[in-house]
Amino acid sequence: MAAENLENKKGTWKRENINPSLQEVHKSIPIQKTGSFFRRLLGFIGPGYLVAVGYMDPGNWATSIAGGSAYGYTLLSVILISNLMAILLQALSAKLGIVSGRDLAQACRDHFSKPVAYMLWVLCELAIAACDLAELIGSAIALNLLFNIPLLYGICITALDVLVVLLLQNKGFRYIESFVIALIVTIAVCFGVELFLSQPEIGGIAAGFIPSSHIVSDPTMLYIALGILGATVMPHNLYLHSSIVQTRNYDHTQAGKRSAIKFATIDSTVALMLALFVNASILILSSAAFHSTGHKNVAEIQDAYHLLDPLLGSGIAAILFGVALLASGQNSTLTGTLAGQIVMEGFLNIRLRPWLRRLITRMIAIIPAVIVTLLYGEKGTGELLILSQVILSLQLSFAVIPLVMFTSDKNKMGEFVNKKWVKWLAWFVTSIIVVLNVYLLWGTFF
């Protein structure tokens, strides 16, 4: 007992025995202990794609469309940089879950005092509700554009996706992963065809991935760039990833954990590169279709949809855009459900039935969306979409700082602690995120 107390004073985890999050699927997926590299990797493929969904949700679309229409390919470098930041942070999140056997929410509850943990929980719940709001509005807009369903009815219809979540959860975690990957492939194929139809300038795209000083010197461009950065790294994804990597039944030896970290990092990195393709495609499409034809003020998703067909000369362009938007919105709702469950279980140690947890999250998003739609119509939902991204930006620092702090603590991570260069790079990225998000919030309100 004395030895345990001494270890706790040094900064190790206070509670050794904790209930795993998502207990119904914890260690439910077997991992090949032997065999080829790709055979073992196959067992870990899945969580990275659930995480990648958050990086291509409807909240990202408006900023990428606005950036492409106003400034052409210039802001592609911002999408690339923000994606590289995301790759680093998600790798740290997976490592925390694998090494400590706890998700980020549980780690925060273990480390911080109760008042601080409750504050972090409230902030995270706000972020999840904001993200759910963006997905709800995005799906409703897609239904309106594709089938001419009024936004108000579309919002109510998308609330029913809770049934899909429940059905997939009952069948097993692999079914959720498969469904998400299928929708991501749908989004990627839609944008692949869109890029072919828009015939973008290859040289301009290559130049756009090189950072330009104009981004900093032009205040309006800088503001959109900050919006892209702020909307890319999703705070709830850090909680989500640290939990769902534990659905794999890997060996809890040092070698087993090291192998799991390697394969989980490959999984999330490849998935996030696919998210980079989708986000870059939105901006490239906006640049090729709108900026090059003089339509430099396209910022609304609805405007982009209606302009695509006449500008690209193809009747299928707008339909593909709408299908991709619908797939993006529906995909994100799945991960939002899981993140909400993980956060509530982790911070409060309260376990609700998945359908009840989903219903609570959905109602928090539906009520403001219905009120704003009734009062202000399409314009109001667009502004609500932007507000949701501001709320996400506000919460991000409160997820990133604990993550970097825990994974850089040798007493908590042992031999898996961040290497010195990773530690400094992670704190540098954290500093950038904090400063840029404060700047973005200041610009939004003042």
Domains of the chain plus CATH, in order, are 46-445 (1.20.1740.10)
Cβ atoms within 10 Å of 373's Cβ, excluding its own: 21
Q: At 30, is the secondary structure helix, strand, or coil?
A: strand
Residue 424: per-residue pLDDT: 97
Q: Using CA atoms, how far apart are residues 245 and 68, in angstroms rounded to an integer?
A: 35
Q: Using CA atoms, how far apart are residues 167 and 202, in angstroms rounded to an integer?
A: 44
Q: Using CA atoms, how far apart are residues 192 and 15, in angstroms rounded to an integer?
A: 49
Residue 9: per-residue pLDDT: 43
Answer whether 437's CB lies under 8 Å from 396's CB: yes
Residue 7: per-residue pLDDT: 39
CA distances from 348 to 86, 91, 109, 312, 342 (A): 27, 25, 8, 52, 10
| Model confidence at 232: pLDDT above 60 | yes
Across the range 40-54, mean pLDDT stands at 92
Instruction: Report which of 169, 203, 407 is spatially closest to residue 178, judged by C-alpha positions.
Output: 169
Q: Using CA atoms, how far apart are residues 273 and 443, in angstroms rounded to an integer?
A: 30
Across the range 81-100, mean pLDDT stands at 95
What string of H, E and C letters represents the secondary structure of 355-414? HHHHHHHHHHHHHHHHHHHHHHHHHHHHHHHHHHHHHHHHHHHHHHHHHHHHHCCHHHHH
Residue 386: per-residue pLDDT: 66
Q: Using CA atoms, how far apart are residues 368 and 140, in angstroms rounded to an integer?
A: 14
Across the range 283-310, mean pLDDT stands at 84
Answer whether 377's CB lies under 8 Å from 151's CB: yes
Across the range 177-199, mean pLDDT stands at 90
Residue with the bigger pLDDT between 161 and 120: it is: 120
Residue 155: per-residue pLDDT: 81
Answer whether 77's CB lies under 8 Å from 388's CB: no
Residue type for position 78 = V
Instruction: Report which of 82, 117, 94, 95 is spatially closest to residue 393, judged by C-alpha positions.
Output: 82
pLDDT per residue as tens digits for the range 358-394:
677 667 767 777 777 777 666 666 667 666 766 777 7
Instruction: Report which of 55, 33, 57, 31 is spatially closest to residue 45, judged by C-alpha positions.
Output: 31
Query: Residue 206 is encoded by which pair of tokens?
Result: 């290559």
Report the percentage of the chain scoring pLDDT > 90.
Answer: 39
Q: Using CA atoms, how far apart are residues 267 and 271, in angstroms rounded to an integer?
A: 6
Residue 5 — very low, low, confident or very high, per pLDDT cuts 50/70/90? very low
What is the distance in angstroms between the CA of the first residue and the CA of the last residue of the chain? 55
Q: At 248, is the secondary structure helix, strand, or coil?
A: strand
| Model confidence at 208: pLDDT above 80 | yes
Answer whether 361's CB lies under 8 Å from 262's CB: no
Query: Residue 94 is encoded by which pair of tokens?
Result: 């997976």
| Model confidence at 10: pLDDT above 90 | no
Answer whether 221's CB lies under 8 Å from 73's CB: no
Mean pLDDT of the chain: 84
CA distances from 264 to 31, 97, 135 (A): 12, 11, 26
Residue with the bigger pLDDT between 247 and 364: it is: 247
Instruction: Report which of 439, 381, 424 is spatially closest to residue 143, judged by C-alpha positions.
Output: 381
DSSP states of 260-302 as a string?
A: HHHHHHHHHHHHHHHHHHHHHHHHHHHHHHTGGGT-TT--SHH
pLDDT per residue as tens digits for the range 312-365:
776 788 899 899 988 888 777 777 778 888 888 899 887 777 667 667 766 776
pTM, to two decimals: 0.89
